[in-house]
Amino acid sequence: MAEAMFKTLSLVFAATAIATAEAALGQRVPCYFVFGDSVFDNGNNNVLNTSAKVNYSPYGNDFARGPTGRFSNGRNIPDIIAEQMRFSDYIPPFTGASAEQAHTGINYASGGGGIREETSQHLGEIISFKKQIKNHRSMIMTAKVPEEKLNKCLYTINIGSNDYLNNYFMPAPYMTNKRFSFDEYADSLIRSYSSHLKSLYILGARKVAVFGVSKLGCTPRMIASHGGGNGCAAEVNKAVEPFNKNLKALVYEFNRNFADAKFTFVDLFSGQTPFAFFMLGFRVTDKSCCTVKPGEELCATNEPVCPAPRRYVYWDNVHSTEAANMVVAKAAFTGLITSPYSLSRLARL
């Protein structure tokens, strides 16, 4: 009994200290929770038995802390969003976080993570979207984060890409491309996504930014495997379109059906045009900045990288450079690629 009381008092004191820090720092939101795949992962896969981990050089080449498990040369999108929301530090990965940190935010994202449970299973251990939500439930309950606080937190989700890259467009052991048409597969994914969003809503999520899937057919990996090595794989991009369309509709459905829900859709697909990239200063859009060995996706360990990563969209054969991440985060914050709310407005609501 005494031990339980001590633990409760410790959590209360910690929450008070955190609340005081928030007020002093002027954070736009009291806490920030991150869900998703390698685009958002900041180190959760480091401790897993998986080939989908990047805690080695040249990853982190332009990040002050070096290789941390971020799938980029520098900051990822949640890192930049945390800065925009005026957090004093980046959101910690779940695998190294304490219960107390659930009062300010935790990153649950896992490289290879998908909506479907079997997605990326060939890579080894992966934390699926469903398991990420389960981890979130455990953390906020252990930390006793009050629901009124959870209602004010920011939640960002980037999931779905691996359900195409490491499932639908892969050979055995995956059979989804034989069972589903493009539209049927998108419908199946959205049904599961809807169920997971409802779980998050029940756990207190109200301010939620849902990121769509980008033009996967234009990644160096898919150009090589499905585009004949010569231009974007049109088939892959076509498959992703109904998913994005249905996901945006799902966001609006949540806002209609739940009066206190403030969900927004972040469009990563539409703005990926050669002209837009050129105007933003990118000069190489179809090749990786780091050295990737034939048939591989990730950077080769300690091999040469391009001299100007800021001119490249892709760091490896799938994941973007810090420069590209910055473009997305800024556009989401200002509302250029969001609907109906910008992240800036979402924080104020």
Asked about 339 being catalytic, the answer comes back as: no
- Tell me the torsion sign for CA atoms 255, 258, 259, 262: negative
**Out of 38, 128, 320, 342, which one is annotated catalytic?**
38
**Out of 37, 62, 267, 316, which one is annotated catalytic?**
316
Q: Which residues of 147-161 are buried (b: 16+ CB within 10 A; e: fewer)?
A: eebbeebbbbbbbbb
CA distances from 57 to 71, 249, 300 (A): 11, 40, 8
Q: What is the Cα–Cα distance from 163 to 184, expressed in whole angstroms?
A: 13
**Out of 103, 136, 226, 319, which one is annotated catalytic?**
319
Asked about 316 being catalytic, the answer comes back as: yes
SS3 letters for the chain?
CHHHHHHHHHHHHHHHHHHHHHHHHCCCCCCEEEEECCCCCECHHHHCCECCCCCCCCCCCCCCCCCCCECCCCCCHHHHHHHHCCCCCCCCEHHHCCHHHHHCCCECCCCCCCCCCCCCHHHECCCCHHHHHHHHHHHHHHHCCCHHHHCCCEEEEECCHHHHHHHHCCCCCCCHHHHCCHHHHHHHHHHHHHHHHHHHHHCCCCEEEEECCCCHHHCHHHHHHHCCCCCCCHHHHHHHHHHHHHHHHHHHHHHHHCCCCEEEEECCCCCCCHHHHHHCCCCEEEEECECCCCCCCCCCCCCCECCCHHHEEECCCCCECHHHHHHHHHHHHHCCCEECCCHHHHHHC
Asked about 136 being catalytic, the answer comes back as: no
Q: What is the Cα–Cα distance from 206 to 29, expressed in whole angstroms?
A: 12
Q: Strand pairing of 312-314 and 338-339?
A: unpaired
Active centre residues (catalytic)? 38, 316, 319
